[in-house]
Structure 1
Amino acid sequence: MSGEDGYSKLFLFLLVGIGLAIGSALTVVYVKKSPIEAVDISGIHDIRQFKWAQVENKDLQLGEIIAPDLLGPESIAVDSDDNLYTGLEDGRVVKIENPGKENENITDLTKSFDYAKGSKRSMKRPLGIRLHGSKLYFVDAYQGVIMIDLKSKSFDVILRYDDVTPQLVFPDDLTVTSDGKTIYFTDMSLKWAYEEIALFTLEGECSGRLFKVDVETKRAELVRNGLCHPNGIEIDRDDSKVLVAEHNRRRIAIIDTTSGKVVRHVLLPGGPDNIRRRKNGGYWVSIVYLPEPGHFTTWNPVHRNMIAGALGGQGVIGLFNLNQGIAVKLDEKFEPVSIHYDLEGKLSKAITEISELSDGRLAVASFVVQGIPLVDPLSSD
């Protein structure tokens, strides 16, 4: 070996050594700076494990956008006349009459009152919303569980965030029993609030809770804790089980309402958001994005801590592909039977909920988009 070759190899070794030293130093810095303490997520599944999801379709691309000025309609309730009710990023709860028609009209249901008045938290973000008779119930990510009486145009705080101990940090969705006497709702984390959702997803911790509250007495009871990112919730037709979306583990927990025990899990190819019953039986489950195999949210804790330390919450949220629309249909036994896509995000994207209108159209909710896509009836229905 010539002297020149020896110097070249020595120089290369030095460069590699310097690179490794710099990389190690940056790893230490970003891990120490990290706002999260990522936990191990082992054995996570992806779309390759689900034969029923190995299809190509554009079912969620056909339709129209209505109410294009409304930002972030995260959840949608539908009444018997197909009027829509939804909560928005700016804290309003609105009613959309005659959606998609020439006489479409939008009314601010919260214009005459401030449901955060008297609260130590000033911010408002209505999320999961339900209609039971003339009562409109919704969960606010900061305030708790609120009710609007559509007849009297008055409101009532069913449960304030600090009415339980530990207090609610991120209440997200609710469902109501058939008799209207009990509300079940989720609190996603004991640590992370609404504006920190990207960091919460990256960390992967499981401190979420399921509560029930008596509508008349307003007495709340913890049903189950230790849930993994529990956002969406639905109750079955005989009020015996609740379906709770565990986003971080890409599954739905089926929980017995009497014992509070998880009786089974339903695995999905992506993290579920809201769950809603279908008119003809079964359930709609929305999936905000479809993670590819080896998605960064499943990397080992050190790497996820580095990402959070280097990018922060706003940087992390930019890593998620929110330009996709995915919805899964379950049957009455909670088994997945079909999946429906708009992977190009032409009409539906970052879907947080699917609700049905009487004519078969689907009202698509999202926490990031403007307007509400009304998807044409699916040929499979």
Structure 2
Amino acid sequence: MGGRGGLALRAYACGWTMKEGEGLRHRRLQQPQVVSDESRDAETKRVSAYSGKVFRITLTTLVVTLVVPLLLAALLLQSPINPQPFSYKEPPLLIGPLEANLKLREAERLYEGQLIGPESIALLGDVIFTGTADGQILKISDGKIHTLARIGKLPCGTWEDEPTCGRPLGIRLGPNGTLFVADAYYGLFEVNPVTGEVKMLVSAQKVIQGKRMAFVNDLSITQDGRKIYFTDSSSKWQRRDNKYLVMEGTADGRLMEYDTVTQQVEVLMDDLRLANGVQLSPAEDYVLVSETTMARIRRYHISGLRKGGHDIFFDNLPGLPDNIRPSSSGGYWVGIAALRPNPGFSVLDFLAPRPWLKNLILKLVSQEMTMKFVPKYGLVLELNEDGSVRRSFHDPHGVVVPSVSEASEHNGYLYLGSYYFPSLCRLNINEV
């Protein structure tokens, strides 16, 4: 018994020792591993490799979805324009009389939503005459809007309709109270301000020195009513394609003179880049014309020692000039259709010497879309008779006045037109 007991005791002791050993082995396997620098580096490399793969896939996707279509468009699509390279001087700083202010925000909107694109304005007493984007010549009296005349025919309102609908632009009162109207598609007309009777003076179909008029724009009349000075902005582009005209930089605009007695038309200046607003001097010894694409105002001498000569009246304007009208100070009001900001980025200045970029842009977007890149900014300049800036009225960001095609002074007020905005604006210039 003692022998068997001793054997059992040894076996028991041995079994206990084995189980204990197994438990120890299990506990050693459950102990946490020590993280070394080598394992950290491996994990970092694995994450970095994954991130790099994601970046490469993302970049490839962007190239395929964005760059490839651009290259295909550049190679396969045809640009609607044949742009000419040119350049501007650095835009003038908005300092001194050009210093930015909020004066145009004091303007009140008139007949908002009741008329679209009152480009030009003529005033007779309390009666307002204007032409609108739907082809109408309107007479506004006692707060009521009447259709005085329509040169074209319905329908109106679309890009396709505009050539047949007509687009009255420059409008003036003659010495006898008669209205004179420049219609972009039809030509020069005389309109009875009472009856609305329309008389054609110069047809846009008339070929003048080998060119037909495609874009009749503005006019100015001598005090005796005999001569009318008017512009044809282009013989290639119509008014509805005016953005193409600016982007292309086409130099085929003209300043012309119509003699109401002889009924003859004479070209005074040609090769202008978008000939636009016209204004006779108070002494009628010269006529000013806006060369819109070049951001300047040209002058043609019609009498005196310099008769027949021309020069630059104002160069490097802070924006693209539209119509010019007389001011009570003896100078001129100039509406600015689009700003060339300084300080700031001017898309007009940037694109001017880069015809390849203009081509690419207009292969990809419509001409209307290009206006999204031009900031809204209301600006009117008053120039002295020597061409210096007397003062300026601003509306940064176009809060009240987004753009100005014309500023017409009448009885202490400045009436502001726009080629697209759905209202007239009026500013009391004695209070700003």
Query: The TM-score by the shorter chain falls in which range?
Result: 0.7 to 0.9
What letter is aligned with 1:91?
G
Conservation of the 8 A alpha-carbon contact between 1:137 and 1:148: yes
Conservation of the 8 A alpha-carbon contact between 1:201 and 1:297: no
Which secondary structure state, in structure 1, belongs to the residue aligned with residue 356 of structure 2? Answer: helix
User: Residue 208 of structure 1: which of 250, 253, 266 is its match?
Assistant: 253
User: Residue 212 of structure 2: which of 167, 177, 186 is its match?
Assistant: 167
Which secondary structure state, in structure 1, belongs to the residue aligned with residue 212 of structure 2? Answer: coil
Instruction: State the Cα deviation string for residues 219-259 of structure 1 (Å, max 9, x = none).
Output: 11111110011111111012111111111111111122254
Number of equivalenced pairs: 365
User: Residue 46 of structure 1: which of 91, 102, 108 is its match?
Assistant: 91
1:250-269 alignment runs, 5 A limit: 250-257=295-302, 259-266=307-314, 267-269=316-318
CA distance in 2, matches of 1:149, 1:42: 44
Matched, 1:350 2:350: no
Q: Which moves more between the two structures, 28-37 or 59-68?
A: 28-37
Q: TM-score scaled by structure 2? A: 0.77
State the match for 2:143 in structure 1. 104
1:1-381 alignment runs, 5 A limit: 23=67, 26-27=70-71, 29-30=73-74, 32-48=77-93, 51-52=95-96, 54-68=98-112, 69-79=114-124, 81-97=125-141, 103-110=142-149, 114=151, 122-132=164-174, 133-150=176-193, 153-164=196-207, 165-257=210-302, 259-266=307-314, 267-292=316-341, 293-298=344-349, 299=351, 300-322=354-376, 324-358=377-411, 360-379=412-431
CA distance in 2, matches of 1:353, 1:241: 20
Q: Which moves more between the two structures, 281-290 or 259-268?
A: 259-268
Q: Which moves more between the two structures, 251-260 or 28-37?
A: 28-37
What letter is aligned with 2:211?
P
User: By how many angstroms is 1:260 displaced?
Assistant: 4.0
User: By how many angstroms is 1:378 displaced?
Assistant: 4.0
Conservation of the 8 A alpha-carbon contact between 1:78 and 1:356: no
What letter is aligned with 1:332?
E
CA distance in 1, matches of 2:429, 2:51: 67
Over aligned residue pairs, what C-alpha RMSD do you find?
A: 2.8
**Runs of 4+ displaced beyond 6 Å:** 2-22
What letter is aligned with 1:92?
Q
Conservation of the 8 A alpha-carbon contact between 1:224 and 1:260: no
CA distance in 2, matches of 1:44, 1:13: 43
CA distance in 1, matches of 2:194, 2:361: 50
What letter is aligned with 1:334?
G
User: By how many angstroms is 1:171 displaced?
Assistant: 0.8
CA distance in 2, matches of 1:379, 1:157: 41
User: By how many angstroms is 1:289 displaced?
Assistant: 2.4
Q: Name the CA shift for 1:308/1:44 in 2 (closer, same or farther; >3 Å).
A: farther
Higher relative contact order (CA 8 A, sep 6+): 1
Which secondary structure state, in structure 1, belongs to the residue aligned with residue 401 of structure 2? Answer: coil
Q: Which moves more between the two structures, 252-261 or 168-177?
A: 252-261
Q: Which moves more between the two structures, 17-26 or 35-44?
A: 17-26
CA distance in 2, matches of 1:183, 1:30: 45
Q: Name the CA shift for 1:339/1:231 in 2 (closer, same or farther; >3 Å).
A: same
CA distance in 2, matches of 1:106, 1:297: 37
Q: Name the CA shift for 1:6/1:152 in 2 (closer, same or farther; >3 Å).
A: closer
Which secondary structure state, in structure 2, belongs to the residue aligned with residue 26 of structure 1? Answer: helix
Stretches of structure 1 that go unaligned for 5 or more consecutive residues are 98-102
Conservation of the 8 A alpha-carbon contact between 1:296 and 1:304: no
Conservation of the 8 A alpha-carbon contact between 2:152 and 2:165: no
What letter is aligned with 1:109?
L
Q: Percent identity?
A: 27
CA distance in 2, matches of 1:271, 1:260: 26
More helix by percentage:
2
Instruction: State the Cα deviation string for residues 155-201 of structure 1 (Å, max 9, x = none).
Output: 21010101124111111111111211011111111221111112222
Q: Name the CA shift for 1:263/1:54 in 2 (closer, same or farther; >3 Å).
A: closer
Q: Name the CA shift for 1:52/1:226 in 2 (closer, same or farther; >3 Å).
A: farther
Q: TM-score scaled by structure 1? A: 0.86
CA distance in 2, matches of 1:108, 1:282: 33
What letter is aligned with 2:244?
L
Q: Name the CA shift for 1:7/1:70 in 2 (closer, same or farther; >3 Å).
A: closer
Conservation of the 8 A alpha-carbon contact between 1:40 and 1:301: yes
User: By how many angstroms is 1:56 displaced?
Assistant: 3.0
CA distance in 2, matches of 1:74, 1:34: 29
What letter is aligned with 2:180?
Y
User: By how many angstroms is 1:110 displaced?
Assistant: 0.7
Conservation of the 8 A alpha-carbon contact between 1:209 and 1:226: yes
Which secondary structure state, in structure 2, belongs to the residue aligned with residue 156 of structure 1? Answer: strand
Conservation of the 8 A alpha-carbon contact between 2:218 and 2:276: yes
CA distance in 1, matches of 2:387, 2:98: 19
CA distance in 2, matches of 1:176, 1:129: 10
